[in-house]
Amino acid sequence: MDETTNQATLYLTADQCALRYNISRRQFQILVKRGDLPQPIRLGCSQRWSIRVLEEFESEQINRQSALFQRTSRQCQKIKK
């Protein structure tokens, strides 16, 4: 793979991001506007999302879900006792 191809895959369009999350492009744009998803960077007149930033965001979301599950599980165990 040459350097140009490698650099091109580091950023996704809104359409590609929507496909990644299995939502419509419009829904993706709404989530970005609300701040629920990472903000894009500008490359010329285009907006792109860094794959690295998206992966970090996804990892943070997984960690939050896991922490919430653990807290809820501990609370349920206290109630059972």
**What stretches in the chain show pLDDT beneath 50?**
1
- So what's the pLDDT on residue 4? 53
Instruction: Report domain extents, the chain.
Output: 3-80
**Residues of 9-42 as b/e, b for ≥16 C-beta within 10 angstroms?**
eebbebeebbeeeeeeeeebbebbeeeebbebee
Task: Tell me the pLDDT tens digit for each residue of 22-45.
Answer: 999 999 999 999 999 999 999 899
- So what's the pLDDT on residue 18? 97
Cα dist from 63 to 18, 34, 59, whole Å: 22, 21, 6
- So what's the pLDDT on residue 13? 97
Reduce the DSSP state of residue 39 to 3 states and report it.
coil
How many CA atoms lie less than 13 Å away from 37 in the CB half-sphere?
Answer: 22
